[in-house]
A and B are shown apart, each in its own frame.
Chain A
């Protein structure tokens, strides 16, 4: 019995000589019998060592480095092209920062942003409110990139109308812009009172198309492009009942950065903001232009999601891109944005997206470029900021 154990012990030490040496040295200096560490504590020692090894690798960058997370969406794919084409690097060099662009799944990108693993992230106005802002991470919307102008749609089979939806099973990703769109559709058509009767089925976006098309008894789905296009292409009698072009400017796509980064005392955060804003408007100018540069930008952005150029162009048609800084500034400084954001924040509050225990919608307040605050003054969590877009407009970047 005892001899077998010894052999095993020797095995461990032959396979991991480093552990063997460290264990031996430790025992020697504490005057302990060597087998003390070897049997019981070898796994613990190995664990401690590996943890120590990974935590000792420091970030030794001298230029400040920032990471931007993005996920696949027509209005965000240009970030991929921006990084790949070298536009971003040029702007980053100009302002003496390093900017990394990293692709995520949408939900994962939000988790990473709230967990402070990345510095800036693309998200809709709704998620900006209910993820970082509601989790107490003070965030600033740096760039208002576009709004959904038909990208999101309510689809139904066999000529159903909105009034017939109650009681029918509706497939959608719950608590996202899809549910918001559905409620707005009901509201705008005077059916707001019937919203509680809707039978929602939470369906993951990765399986929604297959599940909806696979069975004729699934009659209604709410989703976004390119899934909408896939369903319409194969669905036969599926028709769009309502889409986001009827609620322009309500589903906004933003680049959000943590406010503490913008306000870094060494100014590196502000330089980062200038660099990324400059790079963004150069990229969208290319996208919106004519000829060969535009073609490169569109091909590059389509490649970001593995879409064909035709399909990407089709998605762009239903995306209202603020292609000049002026259009974005005008939109974010108009009084209209406050009404639209109010609809969204009321929706979030109604669905407890601001937190289970938030007592009032005003506890997650929004600050606008003109300094006005929607909600409680001391609880500003989301700042719509047009400073950097304005700089781009005035050519000061």
Chain B
């Protein structure tokens, strides 16, 4: 049977695909996705040229242009002589991105203490006794259902949204750090003490230092829950932000704006993830 050895090569664990193969195969699913979308869009537009549920390429392009180059509806119109850069910095996409990312990064900054609490829980037995049971319990609370209380405590502006993210992701991060730190062999701690380390030396210079790459990976995995909580908060009550715009556009099926927004959010998250990945590789080449 000629040809068969080639085919069985594909199902071989020991197979060594050539570069051309790995490159081209990794794009196949993207192409299928784009093709299916276009197909559906064409079918629906044949039936109804004004369809807004699955916008065509031209509609999306128009949507991208108006979200990147035109000011948001609630803002003042730009004077016609504005340069492209002025247009972009006054556009609704820019404005929404700025306010959403501000919330996002404040939340990430507030998660750093959570990581440290996790570390202390793992290293200091009294801290463990104090925190662990509560964090284990608190981790299981669905943060979203606390929202009415968050509104009352933190007001309806920025802080309730930021705290939603912190409360939603913080305990998970604490427990993850705790587990990772616990898996550092006890012998290392003993050895560090015999070499005259202080308590804080052991915690920060022996344990934290070697688990940091794993913690960064854990943060990377938690980017998506963070974004989910941010979106939930912004959809429920806000005056700006990426999810605010999506919620408003949904009122009249503005999918031509929503789809570019979703892709933009994906690109942003991918960018942050890539940044953390590269930073991790640079900072911890031994990992």
A residues bordering B, Cβ < 8 Å?
Answer: 1-2, 5, 31-33, 35-36, 38-41, 107, 111, 114-115, 130-131, 134-137, 171, 174-176, 199-204, 206-207, 210-211, 214-215, 217-218, 351-357
Given contacts A136-B50, A202-B244, contact A114 B236 (CB under 8 A): no
Q: Is the CB of B62 within 8 A of A357?
A: yes
Q: Is the CB of A137 within 8 A of B254?
A: no
Complex alpha-carbon distance, A293 and B63, angstroms: 53
Q: Is the CB of A214 within 8 A of B152?
A: yes
B144 to chain A, nearest CB (A): 10
Q: Is the CB of B238 within 8 A of A202?
A: yes
* A-B interface contact total, Cβ < 8 Å: 118
- Chain A residues with CB under 8 Å of B237's CB are 171, 201-204, 207, 211
B128 to chain A, nearest CB (A): 36
Residues of B in contact (CB 8 Å), total 41
Q: Which of B14, B48, B66, B155 contacts A136 (CB 8 A)?
A: B48
Please tell me if B252 contacts chain A, counting CB pairs below 8 Å: yes
Q: Is the CB of A131 within 8 A of B48?
A: no
Complex alpha-carbon distance, A32 and B1, angstroms: 9
Q: Is the CB of B152 within 8 A of A114?
A: no
Apart from the given pairs A130-B252, A134-B253, A210-B152, 7 other A-B contacts in the complex at a CB distance below 8 Å: A136-B52, A175-B248, A199-B239, A200-B74, A352-B252, A353-B251, A355-B254
Complex alpha-carbon distance, A356 and B67, angstroms: 10
- Chain B residues with CB under 8 Å of A176's CB are 251
- Chain B residues with CB under 8 Å of A214's CB are 148, 151-152
Q: Is the CB of B251 within 8 A of A175?
A: yes
What 1/0 flags go to B107-151 for Cβ under 8 Å of A? 000000000000000000000000000000000000000011001
Complex alpha-carbon distance, A270 and B125, angstroms: 76
Q: Is the CB of A174 within 8 A of B151?
A: no
- Chain A residues with CB under 8 Å of B156's CB are 171, 201, 203, 211, 215, 218
Complex alpha-carbon distance, A2 and B106, angstroms: 49
A198 to chain B, nearest CB (A): 10
B251 to chain A, nearest CB (A): 4
Q: Is the CB of B148 within 8 A of A207?
A: yes
Name the CB-closest residue of A to B257: A356
B5 to chain A, nearest CB (A): 9
Interface members, chain B 7-49 (any A CB < 8 Å): 7-8, 10-11, 13-14, 48-49
